[in-house]
Structure 1
Amino acid sequence: MDITSSADIQSELTEQELLLGLDADQLPRHVAIIMDGNGRWASGRGLPRIAGHREGLAALREVINVFDELHIPMLTIYAFSHENWNRPKAEITLLMSLLDQFLQKERQTFQDRKMRFLPIGRLHLLPDAVQALVHEVANETAHYTDRILTVALSYGGRSEILDAVNDLLDDSRTGKISGPITESQFEHYLTTADLPDPDLLIRTSGEARISNFLLWQIAYTELYFTKVLWPDFRRREVLIALLDYQKRERRFGRVTQAVSPQSTL
């Protein structure tokens, strides 16, 4: 699979020209992002890894601003995976501190923008103080529906599916649900039950894999991989990704042309 970089697509265009090239009627409604490359960004500058994570938060704020500008209502970010608990304890402590700072600083912004903060994942594994703040901000914004920022924390796609299966089995034992389970019914047990599936998944830093993110939800999602490290993924890179998305033909298994009966494989 090719990795897309800003040099590969319309590199000579200005941001304004990129913006003018977008079709407002063809923008994705829901974008998911694997924010990768913070550590490499910092290492390349001789800085501690935490500096990359801080700069990554600045990139996130800029992406949210662009989405507001373009009226893209839903953004889901992979902030902290279940596997990230295997990182050095000192780095985890710093990441939890950054999460706390981000929520303290942005909770009023969520209110001002009428944006829902929706945390997903095994939140009970978060430190008690951070866990409490996450739930507070989620509860404060739960009534907003037009804009949603979903943040995956202590999240893994496989564990989400397993948790959903176990909850479904519990309901089956108590008689709340019975008979063959449909996809629609199963999706109600996922942490993203209130969201449509992502239209576009972006991964930064040159890696071309999903890393256990939204495994059920991205069955028909368009994938966009870029070599740009997450802290450098700013307004221009967002516009390039969206222009690339608009070139795609989303068929969902269908064909767009009639197939002749005489056609052979």
Structure 2
Amino acid sequence: MPTSDYQYEEGTFDVTPEIKRDFDENGYVIIRGILDKQEILKLRQALELEEGVKKHSYEISDGSGRTVRLCIWRHPGNDVTGMIARMEKTAGFMGKLLGGEVYHYSSKLIQKEPHTGGQFKWHQDYGYWYKSGCLFPDMGSLYIAIDKTDTENGCMQVMSGSHKLGRIDHTFVGGQQGAEAERVNQIGSRALFDLVPLELNEGDACFFHCNLLHCSGQNNSARRRWAIITSYNRASNNPIPEESHPWPLYTPIQTVPDDALLRCENFTDLRGKAFVDPATDKTVKVEPNSLQK
């Protein structure tokens, strides 16, 4: 089974040719400890504030009676959560993995609560980003574990190397979009790819390609599972501008040093983040009473 597993070392770590090969071959790389304990504590403080990004969250159905709570924003902003998207060890690394300048496409807080958190079906992020005018799969996401994530609390799983399949058609499953079930079943029945559970500690990260098939299970444990996912698009892949989708066109990232998260004291000034309104977002379906009270 491919590992694609590395340990972050402050001041010395960089995307090496070996890491780039792993990303290209397997569709993902794990970088452990990309955020240290102090950074995670500060990020948690920002995410847990009732007057912070959390107040913009809403629930979507997983198609099996459970829900997942999300909060999505289109621009990083200048608060603590915005620093995640703008550092060299996040945006800079993603640019090196995708082979060129990137810009912030979206960020997402995923909240899976104990005993009730729903699942995400097998899907590719490009399955719905394609529908938002992005012509090429020159996109990727950075998953950072806010809480310890393992099979017990429904961690993310990936099919290593499945990004080589190309884009699969996606349809709605409950309130979320999933890859065409029959195609996923055919892929699984042939055992084409290793199934890798992303068991991560707080502060560990996974960079993954937009066509990588991934899913996550329900949280049946007594532990919550929160994560933040920041997604990037190549500057050269500027979407076709359409009124039908509000996702961001190319906007250069205002980069910050790697210590910016620790130095930032802005927890609640969320101006400029452009939170997604689930009522107009065509990538999800929500119930009218699902918005955060």
Which TM class, normalised by the smaller chain length?
A: under 0.3
Higher helix proportion:
1
TM-score by length of 1: 0.28
Q: Which has the larger radius of gyration?
A: 1
TM-score by length of 2: 0.26
Higher strand proportion:
2
